[in-house]
Structure 1
Amino acid sequence: MSRVTLQTIADRVGVSRMTVSNAFSRPDQLSAQMRRTILEAAADLGYVGPDPSARALARGTTGAVGVLLTESLGTAFLDPIAAAFFGAVAEELAPTGTAVVLLPSISQGMVPARDIPMDGALVYGCAGDYPAVDWLVRRRLPLVFVDGDAVGDASSVHLDEREGARLGAQHLLDLGHRRITILTMNSTAPPGWAPDTRTAGSGYVGRERQTGWVETLEAAGVTPATMEVHDNVEPYVTQGARAVLAGPDRPTAVLCFSDLMAAAVVHAADELGLRVPEDVSVVGYDDSPLARRLRPALTTVHQDFAAKGKAAAGALTAAIARFRAGEPPIPEHHQIPVDLVVRESTAPPAHGGRSG
């Protein structure tokens, strides 16, 4: 059987070769009916489409963007916040036909950030000195940094982290709490971890939230205790939560880096025979589905995942368009607003916040 080409399909349908090409590469140039007719003829002839490598070379674009992660792909999808963000980005890019490639920052042999063809990348929560980030920068790809400090003239997308922390801290102060502990991320890696396995929380996000909490509390004359954990996963969050509540100077309220940490505090309180919020109030961050499933339902800082994904995808699409046009980059810095959602995990302290 002879090889099926675009001309073969054009002859079958009775159109030009360019019209068939547009059906695969520029569908907006054809009516829906004409494109459907061409694709049906192609399928009948056993033609799956132009060679992706050749098409990318001819068009000067791969049709794909990368998302660089701080950790393994499996671990990333266990994080409901990361998964919600990925979903929002994918949904925003879907109408453009752009594929999304997830890039682990650590791998054996092949270095995805160096080796995989892509038109640009979102850098999700990675510090600028990650080796994988360095590869993306050296490739001169259009980049957008999400939840991290931007490098060079790249764009960025952040939550208003400091304001979110301020809202949580002020809420506890308004309830009358004065003995407050912050459960957050450690700025250093655990013993034996490689330098490039630091978590997102040790960078921009952790720094901004810590600043918002401490500034707000100290302005009210309250000096908080701080308990740091190495990572926002088990077993670290559970160990940290138990340590916060088991000591002799147990706080009446805990401000948590994430909803996952807040859930660990609620569970640790239950193990110790403490009631939430009667004995200890708990505030989370992110308003993940976990916050609504938890009992009592969690008071937390809400972030708009759809707005964050839309801003990130839009900034990257714009950066890629300028790059293709040979125009210099114009850094865009988007700050997504947050708000506090008050639920059942917070209440005034039983003893005025001054005794256990």
Structure 2
Amino acid sequence: MTLQTIADRVGVSRMTVSNAFSRPDQLSAEMRRTILAAAADLGYVGPDPSARALARGTTGAVGVLLTESVGTAFLDPMAAAFFGAVAEELAPTGMAVVLLPSIGSEGMIPARDIPMDGALVYGCAGDYPAVDWLVKRRLPLVFIDGDPVDGASSVLLDERQGSRLGAQHLLDLGHRRIGILTMNPDAPPGWAPDAASVGSNFVARERQAGWVEALGEAGVTPVVMQVHDNVEPDVSEGARALLAGPDRPTAVLCFSDLMAAAVVHAAEDAGLRVPDDISVVGFDDSPLSRRLRPALTTVHQDFDAKGKAAAHALTSSIARFRAGDAPAPEQHRILVDLVVRDSTAPPPST
């Protein structure tokens, strides 16, 4: 079955049939419906995608590079919300989204081998081998929640401002014994008290800097507890360790809502009441923050705005690349705000 077969059936040229599949704007809606109906009747599904990609010089797909496996990423509600916004924004363009694990198997390196027109690099450190492959391919790239690369667009939250807002809220309530529960993937698995290193993770580094700066300006030195990753059981172990010391904090600033939930549960297990005995502040304003009891005070990030900004920056970069224009990197900074709910209150009287 060929395009010419359909052309003969409808009584048009082969180019007209080709346009019905590849350039529908060149035909009237009625003519395109007639051609597609004839193709369906003859059992023709359309031009070979690989051949069409070669002819167009485009694959019609964009990659999303993850820090972990695809399955692990979708256990993270923040990542899932971001991907949903990206997919919705790209839907009208007809571009497909290809999820790329950061590592391959059996000689397959997704970032090197999968055809794509550009890629979103989500939360990956710039020295990941997969990022290096994307850069070598000279693809249009947009970095989200990670250290951007020269010449590439980026979409970042105002992480420091968000963590400063949370710290200042606790200071305004009167807290002076404040703990921080955060992550450092460069640390050994498990948890470590009073860790000095902030590691290579961009988000963790920026959030901890904001907390330490705001508290330091008020003369407060926080107790920092780092966990290897923002997953169980690391977060629960870190939360219990943070609350177990003799100088237990009266408030805790957390890297994520998941960590904040772990602190709330650890406090309950220790016979402490939130917020009467201990206040807890999260980060992200995920659905978990609203399900938790008490409802969580947290820093809100706009996942929809972040996803749309990332998709727009990537499609713009791809369009410039196709036109042969020089790169024009875009830097988007997504603003954040503090949502005060029921998990924070003044410190208990001593």
Output one character per residue of 1:112-138: Cα deviation in whole Å (capped at 9) or x when no partner. Answer: 000000001000000110000000011
Query: Residue in 2 aligned with 1:197?
Result: none
- Residue 257 of structure 1 and its aligned partner are, at CA, apart by 0.4
Residue in structure 2 matching 1:42, options 39, 43, 49? 39
Q: Does 1:332 align with 2:330?
A: yes
Deviates more, 1:202-211 or 1:340-349: 202-211
Q: Structure 1 residues 244, 35: closer, same or farther in 2, change over 3 A? A: farther
- Residue 288 of structure 1 and its aligned partner are, at CA, apart by 0.6
Distance in 1 (alpha carbons) for counterparts of 2:177 and 2:245? 13
> 1:142 is matched by which residue type in structure 2?
P
> 2:105 is matched by which residue type in structure 1?
Q
Whether the aligned pair in 1 keeps the contact of 2:187 and 2:227 (CA below 8 Å) is no
Query: Residue in 1 aligned with 2:137?
Result: 139
Query: Residue in 1 aligned with 2:76?
Result: 79
> 1:147 is matched by which residue type in structure 2?
D
Q: Structure 1 residues 220, 43: closer, same or farther in 2, change over 3 A? A: same
Distance in 1 (alpha carbons) for counterparts of 2:72 and 2:85? 19
Q: Does 1:298 align with 2:296?
A: yes
Whether the aligned pair in 1 keeps the contact of 2:60 and 2:116 (CA below 8 Å) is yes
Structure 2 unaligned spans of 5+: 191-197
- TM, length-normalised to structure 1: 0.92
Q: Does 1:89 align with 2:86?
A: yes
Q: Structure 1 residues 190, 49: closer, same or farther in 2, change over 3 A? A: farther
> 1:232 is matched by which residue type in structure 2?
N
Q: Structure 1 residues 342, 32: closer, same or farther in 2, change over 3 A? A: farther
Query: Residue in 2 aligned with 1:196?
Result: none
Query: Residue in 1 aligned with 2:236?
Result: 238
> 1:346 is matched by which residue type in structure 2?
T
Query: Residue in 2 aligned with 1:211?
Result: 209
Q: Structure 1 residues 35, 272: closer, same or farther in 2, change over 3 A? A: farther
Q: Structure 1 residues 182, 30: closer, same or farther in 2, change over 3 A? A: farther
Distance in 2 (alpha carbons) for counterparts of 1:32 and 1:275? 65
Output one character per residue of 1:282-335: Cα deviation in whole Å (capped at 9) or x when no partner. Answer: 111111111111111111111111110111011111111111111221111100
> 1:94 is matched by which residue type in structure 2?
A
Q: Does 1:127 align with 2:125?
A: yes
- Residue 228 of structure 1 and its aligned partner are, at CA, apart by 0.2
Q: Structure 1 residues 216, 32: closer, same or farther in 2, change over 3 A? A: farther
Distance in 1 (alpha carbons) for counterparts of 2:263 and 2:27? 57
Residue in structure 1 matching 2:113, options 100, 112, 115? 115
Q: Does 1:98 align with 2:101?
A: no
Deviates more, 1:37-46 or 1:264-273: 37-46
Q: Structure 1 residues 151, 37: closer, same or farther in 2, change over 3 A? A: same
- TM, length-normalised to structure 2: 0.94
> 1:23 is matched by which residue type in structure 2?
A
> 1:100 is matched by which residue type in structure 2?
V
Whether the aligned pair in 1 keeps the contact of 2:155 and 2:309 (CA below 8 Å) is yes
**What SS is found at the alignment partner of 1:117?**
coil
**What SS is found at the alignment partner of 1:285?**
strand
Distance in 2 (alpha carbons) for counterparts of 1:126 and 1:244? 28
Distance in 1 (alpha carbons) for counterparts of 2:26 and 2:290? 46
Whether the aligned pair in 2 keeps the contact of 1:185 and 1:202 (CA below 8 Å) is no
Aligned-residue RMSD, C-alpha: 1.7
Q: Structure 1 residues 296, 36: closer, same or farther in 2, change over 3 A? A: farther
- Residue 272 of structure 1 and its aligned partner are, at CA, apart by 1.2
Residue in structure 2 matching 1:226, options 224, 227, 232? 224
Output one character per residue of 1:247-284: Cα deviation in whole Å (capped at 9) or x when no partner. Answer: 21111111000011011111111111111111111111
**What SS is found at the alignment partner of 2:46?**
coil
Q: What is the aligned residue count?
A: 342
Q: Does 1:27 align with 2:24?
A: yes
Whether the aligned pair in 1 keeps the contact of 2:251 and 2:279 (CA below 8 Å) is yes
Query: Residue in 2 aligned with 1:349?
Result: 347
Whether the aligned pair in 1 keeps the contact of 2:184 and 2:201 (CA below 8 Å) is no
After TM superposition, which residue ranges in structure 1, 4 or more long, deviate above 6 angstroms?
none
- Residue 189 of structure 1 and its aligned partner are, at CA, apart by 4.3
